[in-house]
Amino acid sequence: MSGGRSIKPPALVALLIATTAFAGLPGAAPAAKKKGFKFGARTLKAGTRGKDVRTLQRSLRALGFVAPVNGIFAPPTRKSVKRLEAKQRWRVNGIVSRKEAKRILRLVARRRASRVSSVYYLQGLTVPSVTVAAQAAGSAQLDVIDTNTGLATATIPLSFSGATPQAISWNGVATTGGYAPDSSYQFRLSDAGTAQASIVAGQVKPFLLRAYAFPVPGKHSFGGAGSRFGASRRGHTHQGQDVSAACGQRLLAAQGGTLSVDSYQAGGAGYYVVIHGINGTDTVYMHMKKPSWAVPGQVIYTGQQIGKVGNTGSSSGCHLHFEHWTAPGWYQGGAPYDPLPELTYWDSYS
């Protein structure tokens, strides 16, 4: 039959209608997005993916642990979970059960409720301190409490010759030796003693203690594959991580210590400095806009400005080339390693 419409057999028409209707149903397409799990609704372990894994990773960061926020329960996340479990004295297996998820949420809620008022750094320009007053001559005991565990990290014995207030500071050293880990802390007078002491002023609220500061506090990016540690370069491989930022932006010391090198390399690093940190590792800052104000032997504090972002030496744009070397340091027997996980963590609280 010519000139008319093409007529489909009734059975074929019915099949097409049914197929079209089915295709329009929610969830009918194979690629349809499934509803994500709420954190705590299932057990999370290696290989798990989803929104609840992202919540876990954000919670780990909030509690001071290194973790990417990508929704994938990979080795870095498992490692941080095990560190949290060990710190809290839970069963260490790297698996987040429903019960453990509730515990983690409580820890995060406690951290937020503490209303941390200040951030201090190890070897920082300022240190946390309180003023303690006594009613009589005698002794007392001041503790520095880790608010995540409720345990004393440092114990400071006090002695008073009379009713004279004392300013007491804490340098971040734990009673057991070594520096206290990144966490939230609070001064607490555990024993008023014979001095009948009390805290009357100073850092009375909880505060954060950090070992490192992010070196580029302004707007920045970590670039692509070519900016990474190990990227190919002519005759060598990249030994650090590039942090792109505007020229002239402030450049801070990631860790306090002593400035060991302040030099210039026309065909490479440009203006650069090396800081030998308080923990024996070295941090290196290259392509600075101009020489640092600091000279070799200068004591440097964590978070202190050491220069400005630049584009000197062999550089194709304003950025900081940052290196981190193991002890004993930069070309002193140490070795460079990928600092991106550390930078990402420091950036999370800057």
Neighbours of 141 (CB within 10 A): 17
pLDDT in tens, 184-229: 999 999 999 999 999 999 999 999 999 999 999 999 999 999 999 9
Cα dihedral sign, 293-299-305-308: positive
Residue 95 · residue 77 · CB < 8 Å: no
Q: Of 3.40.50.300, 2.40.30.60, 2.60.40.4070, 1.10.1060.10, which CATH number belongs to 118-210?
A: 2.60.40.4070
Model confidence at 334: pLDDT above 90: yes
Instruction: Give the residue with greater pLDDT, 101 vs 12.
Output: 101
Q: What is the pLDDT of residue 151?
A: 95
Check pLDDT > 90 for residue 255: yes
Q: What is the per-residue pLDDT across 294-306, written as a single tens digit (0 to 9) for each?
A: 999 999 999 999 9
How far apart are alpha carbons 16 and 113 in whole angstroms? 59
pLDDT the model gives residue 15: 35
Question: What's the confidence (pLDDT) of residue 35?
Answer: 54
Max alpha carbon distance in the chain (Å)?
Answer: 117
CA distance 28 to 22: 7
Nearest to 258 by CA among 330, 192, 209: 330
Q: What is the mean pLDDT of residues 117-129?
A: 91
Which DSSP string do the residues of 129-153 spell out, in sequence order?
EEEEE-SSSEEEEEEEEETTTTEEE
Residue 108 pLDDT exceeds 90: no
Residue 340 banded pLDDT, cuts 50, 70, 90:
very high
Instruction: Kindly state the average pLDDT of the residues 18-38.
Output: 48
Predicted TM-score of the model (pTM): 0.67
Q: Which residues have CB under 8 Å from 316's CB, separation 6+? A: none
- Give the pLDDT score at 147: 93
Q: How far apart are CA 242 and CA 224, in angstroms?
A: 9
pLDDT, position 246 = 96
Which is it for the CA torsion 333, 336, 337, 339, positive or negative? positive
User: Cβ distance 112 to 147 under 8 Å?
Assistant: no
Q: Is 51-113 in CATH node 3.30.70? A: no
Q: 315: pLDDT confidence band, cut at 50, 70 and 90?
A: very high
Tell me what pLDDT residue 8 has.
41
Distance CA 74, CA 77 (A): 6
Cα–Cα dist 230/338, whole Å:
8
For 77-102, the pLDDT digits (tens) are 999 999 999 989 899 999 999 999 99
Split at pLDDT 50, 70, 90, the class of 32 is very low
pLDDT at 193 (0 to 100): 95
User: In angstroms, rounded to a whole number, what is the distance separating the alpha carbons of residues 163 and 99?
Assistant: 50
Q: What value does the mean pLDDT of the chain take?
A: 88
Using CA atoms, how far apart are residues 207 and 122, in angstroms rounded to an integer? 13
Cβ atoms of 174 and 180 closer than 8 Å: yes
What are the structure tokens assigned to 346, written together?
Answer: 């420091």
List the domain boundaries for the chain: 51-113, 118-210, 225-342
The confidence score (pLDDT) of residue 114 equals 54
pLDDT of residue 281: 98
d(CA 241, CA 1): 74
Residues 169/170/175/177 CA torsion (nearest 10 deg): -130
The pLDDT assigned to 164 comes to 87
Cα–Cα distance for residue pair 247/250, rounded to 1 Å: 9
Other Cβ atoms less than 10 A from the Cβ of 144: the count is 23
pLDDT of res. 31: 41
Query: In the structure encoding, which two tokens stand for residue 190, read together?
Result: 């555990």
Strand locations in 212-277 (E): 232-233, 236-237, 241-244, 250-252, 257-265, 270-277
Q: Read off the pLDDT of each residue in 221-238 and give the average, rounded to a whole number.
A: 92
Question: What is the pLDDT, as a whole number, of residue 65?
Answer: 83
Q: Identify the CATH number of the domain defined by range 225-342.
A: 2.70.70.10
Q: What end-to-end distance do the CA atoms of the chain give, in Å?
A: 78
Residue 10 has pLDDT above 70, yes or no: no
- Residue where the block lists tokens 């450049």: 251
Helix (H) or strand (E) run with residue 183 in it: strand 183-191
Task: Tell me what pLDDT residue 346 has.
Answer: 94
Give the model's pLDDT for residue 338: 97
% of the chain with per-residue pLDDT over 90: 78
Which token pair is 124?
A: 């920082």
Residue 20 pLDDT > 60: no
Name which of 27-41, 155-169, 187-201, 304-318 the model is least confident about. 27-41
